[in-house]
Structure 1
Amino acid sequence: MAITVPETIRSSATAGERLVFRTLKIYLPDDYIVYFEPEIHGRRPDFVIIGPDLGLVVLEVKDYTKNTLFRLNHEEWHILTTSGDQAVIKSPIKQARDNVFKVVDVLKKDKSLIQTEGKYQFNLKFPYGYGVVFTRLYAKDFVEEGLYSVIEPELCLNRDEIDPDKEGFSEEILMEKIMNMFVVPYRLKDTLSKEDIDAIRYYLFPEVRISAEFKPPVPYQDQLLLSLHDIKTMDLHQENLAKQLGDKNRLIRGVAGSGKTIILASRAKMLSKQNPDWKILILCYNISLANAIQQMITHMLNEPEDLFDFNFTGGEVENPVKNHNIVVRNFHAWLKNDLKIKEGQIPNFIEKIKRKEAILPTYDAILIDEGQDFEADWLSLVSSLLNEQTQSLLLVEDRAQEIYKRKRTYVQDTGLSFQGRSKILSINYRNTAQIVKFAWDFYRKHSMLKNKVVNRELEGEIIAPQSTKRKGPEPGIIRANNFYEEMKLVARQMKKLHDERKVPYHEMLVLYRVKKTSKIPIIDIIQRSIKDAGLPYFWITENEQSKRSFEKEDGRIKISTIDSSKGLDFRAVFIVNTDSMPFPLEDDHEREVSLLYIGMTRAKEFLCLSYSGTSEFTQYLDNVLLERSKQKAEKVNIK
């Protein structure tokens, strides 16, 4: 069964389109991708098929009957409309041909996708083709009406060949026909790799780009082309979600690292593009996360549809787009700056809004990240400012990352039901399999909510993460005699990662639970140790200004509290002074478990936890070290 984007076809699609969609989905191989009506640089072909052993094929679908056709030639068709009038249209084959060559022109700009030598130099390295599916014309109709004189048999599919209920249908013939719709004389020597297919998706569908990874243009085009080997795209499941959320209110529940924020930002961009007159609001709890989303949105809006429309002089982007019609705020900044009210006034203002006594801004779409951190009356206030006609509210949450006690039900708080309007993201794309397992094992061991853990289903339950196949080193555990020694070891590890693994310093994050204790000035020792090692750093959580102004790619190691790290990710994360958790002055044990889980899942590739004292959590880490030692000894004995 092929992967389809979107997963289900829109209800307004024609009967013929629904038939083709269903047949392609069921009968094409599992590793094929079928796009229905994708927008590709101003064009909307009916179907685009990408297959590792196929290449790329564009299909147009026509529901014409024999009575529809009036006079045909290779260039244009005269057809009769349902009202009996005559219309002149471009030949469907020519439509499909024009669409595929538009696609080819876009893809040929990337050297990694073209043949650099040989007979077919400068052509795409994979075949491409096009065809037309006539869903209401049978094989006998083509013969009787002489259609093969104006349309090549190998470039069309008739009803017998596309409808599994017809006697003449054959899965083998369907595949053979699609494989022969090529307009180029060469075939694939080697199957397309995942990287090749990601590159095709990256250029054709700008919305799948993970724009947080987008870099400014470099002075020379060749350098840009060479740098694009590391392109980042959404997983197909994420792409499907972003494109098929539909209108009205929606809920996305996902595990840490599942791409929730990327989907939210992509959704905001799509809404902005489709509705340029809308006022769109993105809210989250964290100042640092609001800053990160702001940067992501700005990248997305300034990123050209065609990556090769760059100014290659190396200068700044001309007339950079700011946030257009999208406003990004952390909740309390929004209250203060946009609504001009304080948190304590919220209940009173909700009543005033109901009585139409308060004049506050309204929004056509509101998107909330880390929704689990929002109080009930916060959600009530937000939803009361939503345009009643659009009702476009997107809530994104992960209950395993809930560190603030919030009691609410969404129906009661927002007045909107999410029954049948929610999606689950259970695959962790951010972290390696080793980090996912390490963090989840810890969470299951310590969380009181472990009995509520499910793989799917109900609102309020915790989602168990599934990891991708990306592998990496086991998370490191450092046990030291005191905090000074601990930070020296951590600084040494950071320098080693930079020198030996080429991890940039701006891809490193140091997390701490508390700024200081009665015995140890935690943050002072962290900064001093990194400075003494000659490493650059920036303290994100020094004050509100530093939270709002930090830039990830500034060449400096970042230092932050675990609370403020939500929604962020770095290649290497060091959680120091872990023995301060669970924090003795914190009554909510569950919050401490969630905090450490959040900290661990910020790491994409390298994770290290260090401590020099004893706590419930460090005793668990001691046991992990002991278990690792036993396993190592057993392996030695086996050898």
Structure 2
Amino acid sequence: MAMPRTVHPPKKQLDKLRQPLTSGEKMVLDFLDRKLDKQWEIYIQPHLNGLRPDFVLLNPAFGIGVIEVKDWNLDAMHYFIKTHPSGFNELYARNELREFAVENPFTKIKKYKQEIFDVYCPRLQKKAGFAAICPIVIFPFAARYRVMALQESFLDKRAIENRSEWFPVAGREDLANGRLEAILPLLNRSDCPMTPALADDLRGWLVEPDFASTQRQPLILDKSQRTLAETRTSSGYRRIKGPAGSGKSLVLAARAAKLASEGKSVLFVTFNMTLWHYLRDLVARGVTRQDWMQNITFVHFHQWCKRVCEHPAYLKRYAMIMAPIKKIADDESLNDKEKKRRISAIATPILEDQVPRLALEAARSQDSKFDAVLVDEGQDFLPLWWNALRGVRNDDDAEMVLVADATQDVYGKAISWTEDAMSGAGFKGEWARLKLGYRSPSNSVRLASDFAKHFLPPEACDLPQPAQGNLELDESTVEWIQCDKQSAVRSCVDAVLAMHRKTGNQGLANADIVFLCDSIDHGLEFIKELTTYDAFRISVAHTYAHNKGEESRRKMAFWLGDARMKATTFHSFKGWETRLLVIYIANARGRENRSAIYAALTRLKRSELGSHLTVVCSAPELAAFGAKYAEAENRSVAG
């Protein structure tokens, strides 16, 4: 039986794409699927590290086709070329009211070709390799001669003479007459520099990341999770405790989705500023109305404090409290690293006590109130912070929900939540409990649980019970590499490159790779080494910066939907999950560091297609522990 064509994402999922196919794109996809041999793979809206061509075609025997489709009706507006005094040509359109610049598909497609050659297929040889990539512009609703007239100003003389080979365009007559060879001139060539290995370089970027396919699925909750998500207590106050991977964030997101769909206002608060993208995407999978976003405010706690304290009545006091931090931040004689060190030395009483106390006062006096306040990562909060948030309830019947896991107490705050403090915070009765672990495959759960039992206090260990009926059809892997500090960066880069060799199959993409470490300095060293590696020109979305403003901007922009590989710290990835994970451990001394390591070890996402974790460790205090998880031929790297 003939093998089916690779179409990614599968055609049955196309109606759930975030950006639905246009009628012209559907027409082109149908044409390609009917006319091309089954050996041609079709990738729809691939990420390509932030680029989004409409289609990429791949066949190791012929080459790569990258396609941009425009549904333009050239009679609806007048399209023309505007030449600026500098000689720069720009594509313009004119309607009855005005003229304006429009997106240029001809320059865009050339950019796609260049970047595929430069970044995604670095082993293609020059000249012949460049010819293996064919950029195509298709106008399904326009005559080809009119499209060619628009294209001409964006090609040099030699390219114009050879454009049917180098930069083909197609119109409605080409689709109607089935002129496949004219649309894809690669089919007319007798030789091709592509090989299966070179095709593998590209597939890791073309395959849809796990996050994107997950985002099209509805939220799935077990009975306990659904009960917590769909009900409330009589007082409106609820506290939920559960180990990593038990669905705490899932419950909060489902609750937020239900309330927002009912038209209620929700304040969703985290400690970790990188987490809001993840929570927003979870909520989006559970809502039942289109305008839900206007009902939910996502914010991290100190951002919320800043918002309420910048009210005119409190702004002067807020500025006075923050003045010592501002003085250091504005000192031009200090470099970013020294500024951060000095601010860290004075920040605790300011940010953990003085600012939240002012926020508590300010919140109670302001008009902006909510029907529900949902707090994730409760173990990272102090009772004072929770009480400050209580001030934004719109009435005494509003909901307040907190979820926590003391095992992930990376800031040492969980000890503040005594029963007396809990009672004073409005809670009554026992914690609601989530016990089953769903996130991680069994071998990584064993590693994380074993680590917690060895290195965390027994009273702080809340470990997941295995969920029944979770099938891991393809074996997941856990690898431990013990090394010295001198070879640690090289070992981390090797581990990430090994993950790259796993992509392009089993639903794994390069964008699924995540690197975690315990400090900004280690992260910057890793990024510097990785991005200068010649065989893989890897672009990385990371949060590492000593400049506080840049670090905050990077954290706010950090999300799994980014088409690049990701890198951040243990602390900033709490709450997230991925199928390809590399962790670097440099320091395992102290309770908070060990809690952060445990949190990092629980970030591997279970999949029936398999998941992979590599731990690189230069902390000598973990060498004996890690030896149990190292393979017999483990690469114990010497300097």
Instruction: Give the shorter-chain TM-score range.
Output: 0.5 to 0.7
Whether 2:567 is the aligned partner of 1:559: answer yes
1:259 paired residue number: 247
Match for residue 616 of structure 2?
611
Cα displacement (A) at 1:464: 4.2
Q: Distance in 2 between matches of 1:364 and 1:231?
A: 28
Q: CA deviation at 1:499?
A: 3.8
Does residue 475 (structure 1) correspond to residue 478 (structure 2)? The answer is yes
**Cα shift at 1:280:** 1.6
Deviation at 1:232, TM superposition (A): 5.0
Shift of 1:330: 0.4
Residue in 2 aligned with 1:326?
Answer: 296
Aligned residue in 1 for 2:436: 427
SS at match of 1:570: coil
How many residue pairs match? The answer is 382
Determine helix, strand or coil for the equivalent of 1:323: helix
Aligned to 1:594: 595
Q: Distance in 1 between matches of 2:359 and 2:303?
A: 18
- CA displacement at 1:437 relative to structure 2: 1.4
**1:286 is the counterpart of 2:247:** no
Q: Distance in 2 between matches of 1:229 and 1:371?
A: 25
- Comparing 604-613 and 399-408, the one that deviates more: 604-613
Deviation at 1:445, TM superposition (A): 0.9
Query: How far has the Cα of 1:216 moved from its partner?
Result: 4.6
1:421-500 alignment, distance < 5 Å: 422-447=431-456, 449-451=457-459, 453=461, 462-468=462-468, 469-471=470-472, 472-480=475-483, 482-500=487-505
The offset of 1:528, in angstroms, is 2.8
**Displacement after TM superposition at 1:298 (Å):** 4.7
SS at match of 1:604: coil
Matches of 2:378 and 2:494, distance apart in 1: 37
How far apart are the structure 1 equivalents of 2:422 and 2:227? 28
- Report the CA distance between 1:612 and its aligned residue: 6.2
C-alpha distance after superposition, 1:143-175 (max 9, x if no partner): xxxxxxxxxxxxxxxxxxxxxxxxxxxxxxxxx
Residue in structure 2 matched with residue 581 of structure 1 by the alignment: 587
Q: What secondary structure sits across from 2:253 in the alignment?
A: helix
Partner-residue secondary structure (3-state), 2:267: strand
Q: CA deviation at 1:498?
A: 0.6
**Equivalent residue of 2:508, what SS?**
coil
**What residue identity is the alignment partner of 1:507?**
D
Counterpart for residue 269 of structure 1:
257
> How is 1:348-387 mapped onto 2 (pairs within 5 angstroms)?
348-349=357-358, 352=361, 358-359=365-366, 361-387=368-394
Partner of 1:184: none
Equivalent residues in 2 for 1:102-501, closer than 5 Å: 215-218=18-21, 231=217, 233-237=219-223, 238-246=225-233, 248-274=236-262, 276=263, 278-298=264-284, 300-301=286-287, 321=291, 323-340=293-310, 341=318, 343=351, 344-346=353-355, 348-349=357-358, 352=361, 358-359=365-366, 361-406=368-413, 407-409=416-418, 412=421, 415-420=424-429, 422-447=431-456, 449-451=457-459, 453=461, 462-468=462-468, 469-471=470-472, 472-480=475-483, 482-501=487-506
AA partner of residue 537 (structure 1): V
How far off its partner does 1:514 sit?
1.4
- CA 1:214–1:391 in 2, change beyond 3 Å: closer, same or farther? farther
Identity %: 20
Cα distance, 1:572–1:523 mapped onto 2, change above 3 Å: same
Paired amino acid for 1:242: A
User: Which amino acid letter does the alignment assign opposite residue 397 of structure 2?
Assistant: T
Q: Which amino acid aligns with 2:515?
A: V
Per-residue deviation, 1:611: 3.2
Name the SS of the counterpart of 1:271 in structure 2: helix
Query: Are residues 1:545 and 2:553 paired?
Result: yes
Structure 2 residues not aligned, in runs of 5+: 1-10, 31-43, 45-212, 311-317, 323-350, 546-550, 635-639
Contact in 2 for aligned 1:377/1:413 (Cα 8 Å): no
The offset of 1:413, in angstroms, is 5.6
1:509-548 aligned within 5 A? 509-516=514-521, 522-528=525-531, 533-542=536-545, 543-548=551-556
Is the Cα–Cα contact under 8 Å of residues 366 and 393 in structure 1 kept in the other structure?
yes
- CA deviation map 1:556-613 (0-9, x unaligned): 110011110011111111102x2x1215xxxxx1111211111111111434334363
In structure 2, what is the equivalent of residue 312 of structure 1?
A: none
Q: Secondary structure at the match of 2:388?
A: helix
Query: Residues 16-35 of structure 1 correspond to what in structure 2 (within 5 A)?
Result: none
**Aligned equivalents of 2:412, 2:453: Cα separation in 1:** 19
CA contact (8 A) 1:573 1:600 kept: no
Which whole-Å CA distance do the structure 2 matches of 1:604 and 1:228 have between them? 12
1:294/1:414 Cα in 2 relative to 1: closer, same or farther (>3 Å)?
A: farther
Q: CA deviation at 1:239?
A: 2.2
Distance 1:538-1:384 versus aligned 2 partners, 3 A rule: same
Q: Distance in 2 between matches of 1:353 and 1:414?
A: 23
**What is the CA deviation profile of residues 55-113 of structure 1, one whole-angstrom value per residue up to 9, with x for unaligned ones?**
xxxxxxxxxxxxxxxxxxxxxxxxxxxxxxxxxxxxxxxxxxxxxxxxxxxxxxxx99x
Q: TM-score, normalised by structure 2?
A: 0.53
Q: Are the aligned partners of 1:346 and 1:378 in contact in 2 as well (CA < 8 Å)?
A: no
RMSD: 3.7
Is contact 1:366–1:386 with CA below 8 Å preserved after alignment?
A: yes
CA distance in structure 2 between the partners assigned to 1:216 and 1:410 by the alignment = 49
Counterparts in 2 of 1:541 and 1:282: CA distance versus 1, 3 Å: farther
- Take 2:581 and 2:214, find their aligned partners in 1: how far apart are those partners? 26
Aligned partner of residue 329 in structure 1, secondary structure: strand
**Distance in 2 between residues matched to 1:378 and 1:526, nearest whole Å:** 40
Which residue in 2 is equivalent to 1:172?
A: none
| 1:373 partner letter | D
Contact 1:487–1:526 (Cα < 8 Å) also in 2: no
Matching residue's letter, 1:434: N
SS at 1:367's partner residue?
A: strand
Give the TM-score normalised by the residue count of structure 1: 0.53
Deviation, structure 1 residue 361: 3.5
Q: Distance in 2 between matches of 1:387 and 1:478?
A: 53
- How far off its partner does 1:417 sit? 4.4
